[in-house]
Amino acid sequence: MRKILVSGCLNGRPIRFNSTNVSVESEIWDRWESEGRLVSFCPELAAGFAVPRAPAEIVGSTASVVLQDQGRVEEDNGTDVTDMFVDGAKLAAQQAMAEGCVIAVLTDGSPSCGTTYTYDGAFTGGTRCRHGCHGSASQ
């Protein structure tokens, strides 16, 4: 049975930075869950962050830039937490490979899990798509 890596906060665990979760209402999700195919993982908890924790955003770039050691992730007080976020990404990739995951369903907008967009580092709701284009909080 093929496994699916999923963000840990998508299955009811209140582990986001603000101690909330993200609800999922989907028949296919329910089926995957009943089949035991979901591999739940939180990169930020795996990297050592606590719940709750300070909000963090990728500053002015994208996750791929951060992973190339050309960008950074900061908390809203300016603390550079790039290394912990990179550690979390590596641990997530290791978990996915160890479990044989073939796809991932992740929480968008998160600096760790966002796949189509993340917040832009200004902590004002502005967003940036995965290709680097600037957007707004309405995404």
Q: Which one of residues 4, 5, 15, 39 is an interface residue with ligand SF4 (CB under 6 A)?
A: 15
Cβ-in-10-Å burial (0-12, 13-18, 19+) of 58 comes to buried
DSSP sequence for 14-39? --STTS-------HHHHHHHHTT-EE
**Count of chain residues binding ligand SF4 (CB under 6 A):** 12
Is residue 8 near ligand SF4 by the rule CB under 6 A? yes
Strands 73-75 and 56-58: antiparallel
Give the residue with the Cβ less far from ligand SF4, 55 or 60.
Answer: 55
Exposed e or buried b for every residue in 122-133, given b needs 16+ CB within 10 A? Answer: eeeeebbeeeee
Between residue 94 and residue 123, which ones bind ligand SF4 under the rule CB under 6 A? Answer: 107, 110, 112-113
Give the residue with the Cβ less far from ligand SF4, 9 or 66.
Answer: 9
Is residue 63 near ligand SF4 by the rule CB under 6 A? no
Assign 58 to helix, strand or coil. strand
Interface region with ligand SF4, contact rule CB under 6 A, candidates 2-10, 23-31, 69-77, 119-127: 2-10
Give the residue with the Cβ less far from ligand SF4, 59 or 88.
Answer: 88
Dihedral (CA of 99, 104, 105, 107) sign:
positive
DSSP 48: T
Give the residue with the Cβ less far from ligand SF4, 61 or 110.
Answer: 110
Interface region with ligand SF4, contact rule CB under 6 A, candidates 26-34, 38-46, 60-68, 73-81: 38-46
Is residue 47 near ligand SF4 by the rule CB under 6 A? no
